Amino acid sequence: MNSIDPIRAVVHANPYPYYAELAARSPFVFEPRLRLWVASSAAAVTEVLEHPELQVRPAAEPVPKAIAGAPSGEVFARLARMNDGAAHRAPKLALRRALGSLDLQIVTLRARRIAERSERDLRRPGDVSAWLFEMPVQVVASLLGFADDVLPEVAAWMADFVACLSALSTPEQLACANDAALRLVQCVKTLVADAAAGNDVRGGRLPDATSMEGASLVALVQREAQSTGWDDADALIANLVGLLSQTYDATAGLIGNAVVALMTQAGVEDEVRRTPRKLADLIRETSRFDASVQNTRRFAATETTVCGERVEAGAAILVLLAAANRDPAANARPHEFLLDRDDCRVFGFGHGIHACPGDQLAYAIASTAIDVLLDRTTLAHRNDLAWTYRASANLRLPIFAEVREARSAAGGD
């Protein structure tokens, strides 16, 4: 484990023994080489995420320098999840209420229709990888009110846009992200105007969409924005774009890591096929056992004390959500993949005031995706499928390939 550190662990083949050692030995420690604090145990992660003096962005850099003043930066600056205080409270409440009012049966029906009509061959590894990203964001775009015929285009824009959220992006990727941000904002503005005018159900939707739902997700968010006193139109549009961006990466990772679990955990696929209700257990256990969001960060607004240590103003804290998931103080038998786990604690959707309000939506989409995938192919015992992890500082996203292709990419025979 000498080649691993808290950031490189995200794409390591198996970072969990390292996480376990770190949580047991140094649950809250300063890492001088990375110049940040690291919280790894369930107790330390919980304290950091609940700490009133710790914020989601550094005070000196509320928007990453690479996108400050650019169209993608304008969206980023207004995201509730990237703000604290007043800029966070009302938007977060509105979004939580709107997402909580979604009928998950409708979500599942919508997700199944979109998943099943994909022209991807889900027996082919490359198509599986592309589908993991396309399907979830198309589902949320459809729920927002986008017409069927533009869903693939929305997914393509989102693929470009999420580059602005990564510190690893190139200047060319950031330029594409800015173009995508302009397109997404303009399209969402149109959806907001249509919903305000009472035109929730637009042409080109799924065949019987009008019988499946009443209001679009845009209309639900507008309603809750009014009830919470959130009257910033630009912020509302940005946060609707934000729903798509969170879905694109995090839900894709959840589905992909569930695929890995089905391939590597003995007997799990057979058990899910025998008892379909355990599909939901599979997704929840995957989100604990092999989280798509492995870490997040917090920044000290003032000098403060965290886990008994003095933390200077401006200091950064890396919060290892995936390590907390595997802490035996939070989950018994943490390194076993158990479909029938009782009292499962999952940190991957955050905790405290910045906890993600879309966990049930993500679970519903991921469960449906795996259900459709299992209708098309078998994953257990496949020896033709390999995977690596996409370069990322915080997201664990498997990219699948034929074994022959994977060996070639790695310089093998």
| CATH number of the domain to which 129 belongs | 1.10.630.10
Contacts of 25 (CB under 8 A, 6+ apart): none
Please indicate, yes or no, if residue 2 is contained in any of the structural domains. Answer: no
Residue 217: its H or E element: helix 217-228
Please indicate, yes or no, if residue 291 is contained in any of the structural domains. Answer: yes
User: Which tokens in the block code for residue 356?
Assistant: 């993600």
Provide the angle, in degrees to the nearest 10, between the axes of the packed helices 171-196 and 233-246: 120
Distance CA 220, CA 358 (A): 14
Domain span at 178: 8-409
Please indicate, yes or no, if residue 178 is contained in any of the structural domains. Answer: yes
Per-residue pLDDT, 2: 57
Per-residue pLDDT, 409: 52
Strand partners, 400: 387
- 204, with CB counted inside 10 A (0-12, 13-18, 19+), is exposed
Please indicate, yes or no, if residue 214 is contained in any of the structural domains. Answer: yes
Please indicate, yes or no, if residue 1 is contained in any of the structural domains. Answer: no
Q: What one-letter code names the amino acid at 300?
A: A
Mean pLDDT, 10 residues at a time, the chain of 413 residues:
86 97 97 97 98 96 96 97 91 95 95 95 92 97 96 97 91 96 98 83 37 74 96 97 95 97 96 96 98 98 98 98 98 97 91 87 98 93 88 96 64 42
Distance CA 323, CA 16 (A): 7
The number of domains in the chain is 1
Per-residue pLDDT, 46: 97
Residue written as tokens 């604690």?
345
Please indicate, yes or no, if residue 332 is contained in any of the structural domains. Answer: yes
Contacts of 125 (CB under 8 A, 6+ apart): 384, 385, 386, 387, 400, 401, 402, 405
On whether the CB atoms of residues 23 and 327 are closer than 8 A, the answer is yes
Please indicate, yes or no, if residue 248 is contained in any of the structural domains. Answer: yes
Please indicate, yes or no, if residue 312 is contained in any of the structural domains. Answer: yes
On whether the CB atoms of residues 358 and 99 are closer than 8 A, the answer is yes
Report residue 335 CA to chain centroid gap.
22
